[in-house]
Amino acid sequence: MKKFLKDYDLSGKDIIVAASNAGWIGHCFNDYKTLLPNSNIKGELNLEFSANAGERDKMLTS
């Protein structure tokens, strides 16, 4: 994803950033803000899934 964001100029574009994880989002959304300094980040979508064995396909985000 970082390569894509570095290769394509999204300046002035409205963007909703999304990430999926199993309980730790880390610094993902801050990275987007750094990589898209001239874009309009309109929202952040955090899709969290279960980290428990046998339930990895269970989405926790409502």
Domain boundaries, the chain: 2-48
pTM exceeding 0.75: no
Q: Residue 24: what pLDDT?
A: 86
Q: How far apart are CA 40 and CA 20, in angstroms?
A: 21
Identify the burial level of 25 via C-beta atoms within 10 angstroms of its C-beta, where 0-12 means exposed, 13-18 middle and 19 or more buried. middle
CA 22 to chain centroid, in Å, comes to: 13
pLDDT value at residue 32:
93
pLDDT tens track for 11-23:
999 999 999 999 8
- pLDDT tens-digit profile of 1-46? 889 998 999 999 999 999 999 988 889 999 999 999 999 999 999 9
| DSSP symbol at 59 | B
Query: What pLDDT does residue 38 have?
Result: 95
Residue 8 dihedral angles phi and psi, to the nearest 5°: -115, 130
